[in-house]
């Protein structure tokens, strides 16, 4: 949920008369430079398992490896392009009144700085361009692949549009819940894959079959997964760098999972499904890292619902088309917990305020957990007051731990479960 | 295109970027286009070209991209009167629909019929939703349509023209837009001074619009027929659009067999 005070219509002035225009541009400073060191450290850290899996641990065939690396180099270009475009877009966004004030810095001088909002639009557009152009390099005669790929892109594009419309027009929350189901329609309509699920071995005696065809219920599940992923990222938010950070962690986990599945499998269709997922997750990761370089504490830009919806939809789409949505849901464990903690307030059973953020103390600079039902507050109540940056790092570590737990679970249950 | 059009409406991007937006939006179509990139040479020119069918390859894709840029921006600049943008789209879309139905009826090739059916499946929603918008945008306008609409409409029509393989017919439907573009070239290229708005001059006392010396079809028409009220002018221009479409149908009828 966007935890920034949206500039009210009264605040935005009409275009200033010529004589003050020069002073206005002098007063509005450009945004702070990106935190390149942070991103560099992450890339260094992540490239170790990435290249190890891609080259050493598994023998992946040349063709596939080449495609993945072509995609990766395209993404590197995308990273730098996004990093260049964010300051440019920030100027336009500020000019049109799309900015917020950082609530977690209220009472300090930084709490009066106008922070540009909705920079997720830059990420979304660069992502789409990367994903569209990649088709040229991986052009196979397989029209089925193209149909699924373009349906996926259509869903993601639709979600970016609806997310941006939401950021600009500030739609009511009931409509907000509905938006991802509308955006997921292209995927649901075009999905020609199987709608069967493999029954876990222990339950086969109860169900009576090894494989169960769910039909339209599977499509309903797909739609609900899209609604869940988008909104769960949206509500597990409010700290500088949390939304982008959680996406980066989950996307990295997805990427590792995809590489492991490709390496360990010999079924070409199965490998294709996971390769498909890689081709969409790598651009997500690259563009998100570029955004994170500006959004990490202290945030120079805010990401807006545009970003959280886009990221959630992309991950739902790859989970659906790669057929690993249960694994995806375990990666989303903190988001699931946050959702369950939030249920009483979201359902109206308990009173729900406009913002459910922890309380900021301007003197100590620490955040204290309130009694609101969010993972952030729950964690703070458990470990005591923390600064915003430390808290965000802790929560991202919790996210990473959840992903490692998922890998462990898969390793332990392999053979027993499926 | 809807996304980029809306981003443009909200952020007000510079016009050079505006020109580029449709090419970016057309990329999925260009990348996924697996159809043939051949054109049928008009019969009179076969002796010069030497072949009946010419494979253009990537040049065809370039043409597709340029068509998208043209259709979107030409509707965008032939604008400024209440109901003109939506009105011209409604007229052209209706003509496209009639053309599609005629082609399906007159043909026996299933692939050809499929191409025109595809076009119908996209033009009918365009027509229906545009009519709904027109009910609010017609003179006097209760709402404005924004670049979101003109870009969306232009791209939809370019897309159906490309995928239905009737882009030459589409361009003749776009005759007034082509004329407007040619009239605007001196100012758009910077050769002649180009003001922020190139609208006709409104006289609050008479309520009539008078043509200025700007290079637009609207001003050209007003200079020819004299001052008109906004509503009458819009109706006239839409009739011109409809006449252009009828002219296209006549042309196809006369040249059938001779041309292809």
Residue A363 within a domain: no
Contact B34 A136 (CB under 8 A): no
Look at residues B23, B59, B67 and name the one whose alpha carbon lies nearest to residue B38.
B59
Does A133 contact B3 at a Cβ distance shorter than 8 Å? Answer: no
The pLDDT, as a whole number, for residue B52 is 80
Q: Are A280 and A68 in contact (CB under 8 A)?
A: no
Interface test with A, best of B1, B22, B28, B33 (most A CBs within 10 A): B28
Contact with chain B for residue A185, Cβ under 8 A: no
Does residue A10 fall inside a structural domain? Answer: no
For an interface test with B, the pick among A95, A141, A161, A166 (most B C-beta atoms closer than 10 Å) comes out as: A161
Q: Work out the minimum CA distance from B29 to partner chain A, whole angstroms.
A: 9
Side-chain half-sphere of B130: how many Cα atoms within 13 Å?
27
Q: Is residue A16 part of a domain?
A: no
Quote the minimal CA–CA distance from A122 to chain B in Å. 10
Q: Which segments of A96-142 does DSSP mark as H helices, in order? A: 120-137
Contact criterion met (CB < 8 Å) for B7 and A146:
no
Note if the bond before A72 is cis, omega within 30 degrees.
no
Q: Reduce the DSSP state of residue A8 to 3 states and report it.
A: coil
Specify the pLDDT at position A415. 62
Task: Mark out chain B residues that contact chain A at CB-CB < 8 A.
Answer: 2-4, 6-7, 10-13, 24, 27-28, 31-32, 34
Q: Is the pLDDT of residue B130 over 70?
A: yes
In the sheet that holds A386-387, the strands lie side by side as: A359-361, A366-368, A386-387
Query: Is B6 in contact with A93 (Cβ distance < 8 A)?
Result: no
Alpha carbon of A87: minimum distance to chain B alpha carbons (Å) = 14
For A147, A255, B60, B67, B163, the CA distances from B34, given in Å and listed in that order, are 12, 30, 12, 18, 10
Tell me if A100 is assigned to some domain: yes
**What does the pLDDT read at residue A140?**
65
Give which of B33, B23, B112 is closest to B68, Cα–Cα. B23
For position B258, what pLDDT does the model report?
60
Residue A406 lies in a domain: no
- Does any CB of chain B come closer than 8 Å to the CB of residue A168? yes
Give yes or no for a cis peptide into A298 (omega within 30° of 0): yes
Choose, out of A87, A119, A128, A132, the residue to mutate when testing the contact with B (most B CBs < 10 Å).
A132
Q: What is the mean pLDDT of chain B?
A: 91
Output Rg (C-alpha) for chain A, integer angstroms.
22
Residues of A in contact with B11 (CB under 8 A): 89, 92-93, 95-96
Report CB contact under 8 Å: B6, A165: yes
* Band of pLDDT at residue B165, cut at 50, 70 and 90: confident
| Domain tally, chain A | 1
Q: Which two tokens stand for residue A331?
A: 């990666």
Cβ separation of A129 and B24 shorter than 8 Å?
yes
A129 vs B: CB within 8 A: yes
| Of the partner residues B7, B31, B34, the one whose CB lies closest to the CB of residue A136 | B31
Residues A402, A330 contacting (CB under 8 angstroms):
yes
Q: Is A175 on the interface with B (CB under 8 A)?
A: no
- pLDDT on residue A15: 42
Chain B residue with minimum CA distance to A146: B32
- Judged by DSSP in three states, B194 sits in coil
Q: Give the CA angle between residues A145, A148, A154 to the nearest 5°.
A: 135
Angle A284-A290-A296 (CA atoms, 0-180°, nearest 5)?
110
Task: Concatenate the DSSP letters of all residues of A30-65 into one string.
Answer: PPPPP-HHHHHHHHHHHHHHHHIIIIIIS---HHHH
Contact B3, A164 (CB under 8 A): yes
Which of A69, A43, A48 shows the shortest CA–CA distance to A285?
A43
Asked whether residue A6 is assigned to any structural domain, the reply reads: no
Q: B164: closest CA among B248, B64, B24?
A: B64
Q: What is the pLDDT along chain A (418 residues), one digit of tens a residue?
A: 444 444 443 344 444 444 444 444 444 567 888 888 888 888 888 888 888 888 888 788 888 899 999 999 999 999 999 999 999 999 999 999 999 999 888 888 888 889 999 999 999 999 999 999 998 887 665 677 788 888 999 999 999 999 999 999 999 988 888 899 999 999 888 877 778 877 777 777 777 777 888 888 888 999 999 999 999 999 999 999 999 999 999 999 999 999 999 988 888 888 889 999 999 999 999 999 999 999 998 999 999 999 999 999 999 999 988 889 889 999 999 999 999 999 998 888 888 888 888 999 888 889 998 888 899 999 999 999 999 999 999 999 999 999 999 999 888 887 655 4
Rounded-to-10 torsion of CA A69, A73, A74, A76? 140
CA distance A293 to B51: 57
Decide if A15 touches B, using CB distance below 8 A. no
What pLDDT was estimated at residue B259?
52
Q: Which phi and psi angles does A256 have, rounded to 5°?
A: -60, -45
Q: Using the CB atoms, write b or e for A225-234: b if 16+ within 10 Å.
A: bbbbbbbbbb
A361, B21, B23 from B27: Cα distances, Å? 50, 10, 7
Q: How far is A368 from chain B (nearest CA, A)?
A: 37
Interface residue A162 vs chain B (CB under 8 A): no
The arithmetic mean of pLDDT across residues B190-216, rounded, is 90
Q: How much is the average pLDDT of B46-68?
A: 86
What is residue A208's predicted lDDT score, i.e. its pLDDT? Answer: 78
d(CA A168, CA A305): 10
How far CA A49 is from CA of A282, A330, A343, B174, in Å, comes to 15, 20, 37, 56
Strand partners, A28: none
Closest CA to A319 of A308, A333, A330: A330
Contact A161 B10 (CB under 8 A): no
DSSP B50: S
> CA quadruple A36, A38, A41, A44: dihedral positive or negative?
negative
Task: Supply the range of the domain harboring residue A308.
Answer: 36-343
Q: What is the CA B24 to chain-centroid distance, rounded?
A: 18
CA-to-CA distance for B180 and B217, rounded, in angstroms?
Answer: 5
HEC readout, A402-416: HHHHHHHHHHHHCCC
Check CB contact under 8 Å for B32 and A146. yes
Q: Do B31 and A157 touch (CB under 8 A)?
A: no
Q: Which residues of B touch A150 (CB under 8 A)?
A: 28, 32
């Amino acid at each position: 949920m966007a935890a920034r005070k949206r500039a009210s219509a009264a605040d935005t002035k009409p275009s200033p008369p010529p004589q003050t225009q020069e002073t206005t541009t002098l007063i509005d400073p450009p945004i702070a430079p990106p935190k390149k060191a942070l991103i560099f450290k992450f890339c260094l850290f992540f490239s170790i398992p990435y290249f190890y899996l891609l080259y050493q641990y598994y023998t992946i065939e040349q063709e596939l490896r080449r495609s993945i690396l072509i995609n990766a180099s395209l993404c590197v270009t995308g990273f730098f392009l996004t990093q260049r475009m964010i300051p440019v877009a920030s100027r336009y966004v500020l000019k049109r009144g799309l900015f917020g004030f950082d609530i977690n810095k209220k009472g300090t001088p930084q709490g009066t700085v106008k922070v540009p909002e909705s920079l997720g639009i830059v990420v979304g557009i660069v992502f789409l361009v990367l994903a569209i152009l990649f088709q040229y390099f991986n052009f196979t005669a397989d029209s089925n692949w193209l149909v699924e790929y373009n349906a996926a892109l259509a869903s993601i594009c639709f979600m970016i549009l609806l997310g941006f419309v939401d950021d600009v027009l500030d739609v009511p929350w009931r409509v907000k819940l509905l938006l991802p189901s509308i955006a997921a329609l292209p995927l649901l309509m075009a999905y020609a894959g199987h709608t069967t699920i493999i029954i876990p071995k222990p339950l086969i005696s109860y169900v009576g079959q090894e494989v169960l065809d769910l039909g339209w219920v599977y499509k309903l599940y797909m739609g609900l997964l899209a609604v869940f992923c988008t909104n769960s990222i949206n509500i597990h938010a409010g700290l500088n760098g949390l939304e982008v950070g959680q996406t980066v962690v989950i996307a990295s986990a997805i990427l590792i999972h995809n590489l492991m599945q490709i390496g360990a499998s010999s079924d070409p269709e199965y490998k294709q499904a996971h390769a498909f997922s890689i081709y969409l997750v790598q651009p997500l990761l690259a563009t998100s890292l570029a955004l994170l370089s500006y959004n990490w504490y202290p945030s120079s830009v805010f990401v807006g619902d545009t970003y959280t919806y886009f990221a959630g939809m992309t991950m739902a789409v790859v989970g659906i088309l790669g057929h690993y949505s249960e694994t995806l849901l375990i990666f989303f464990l903190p988001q699931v917990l946050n959702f369950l903690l939030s249920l009483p307030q979201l359902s109206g059973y308990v009173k729900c305020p406009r913002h459910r953020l922890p309380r900021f103390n301007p003197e100590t600079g620490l955040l204290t957990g309130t009694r609101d039902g969010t993972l952030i507050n729950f964690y703070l109540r458990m470990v005591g007051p923390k600064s915003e940056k430390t808290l965000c790092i802790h929560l991202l570590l919790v996210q990473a731990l959840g992903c490692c737990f998922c890998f462990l679970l898969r390793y332990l249950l392999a053979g027993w479960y499926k | 295109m809807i996304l980029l059009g809306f981003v443009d409406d909200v952020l007000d991007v510079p016009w050079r970027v505006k020109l580029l937006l449709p090419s970016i939006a057309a990329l999925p179509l260009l990348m996924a286009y697996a159809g043939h990139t051949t054109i049928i040479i008009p019969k009179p020119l076969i002796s010069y070209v030497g072949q009946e069918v010419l494979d253009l390859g990537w040049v065809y894709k370039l043409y597709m991209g340029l068509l998208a840029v043209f259709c979107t921006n030409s509707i965008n600049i032939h604008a400024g009167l209440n109901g003109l943008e939506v009105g011209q789209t409604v007229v052209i879309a209706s003509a496209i629909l009639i053309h599609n139905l005629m082609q399906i009826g007159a043909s026996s090739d299933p692939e050809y019929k499929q191409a025109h059916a595809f076009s119908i499946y996209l033009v009918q929603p365009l027509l229906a939703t545009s009519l709904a918008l027109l009910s609010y945008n017609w003179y006097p306008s209760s709402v404005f349509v924004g670049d979101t609409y003109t870009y969306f409409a232009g791209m939809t029509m370019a897309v159906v023209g490309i995928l239905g393989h009737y882009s030459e017919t589409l361009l003749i439907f776009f005759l007034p837009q082509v004329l407007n573009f040619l009239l605007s070239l001196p100012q758009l290229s910077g050769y002649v001074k180009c003001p922020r708005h190139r609208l006709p001059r409104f006289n609050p006392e008479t309520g009539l619009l008078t043509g200025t010396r700007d290079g637009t079809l609207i001003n050209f028409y007003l200079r020819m027929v004299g001052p008109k009220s906004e509503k009458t002018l819009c109706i006239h221009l839409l009739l011109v659009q409809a006449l252009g479409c009828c002219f296209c149908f006549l042309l196809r009828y006369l040249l059938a067999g001779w041309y292809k």
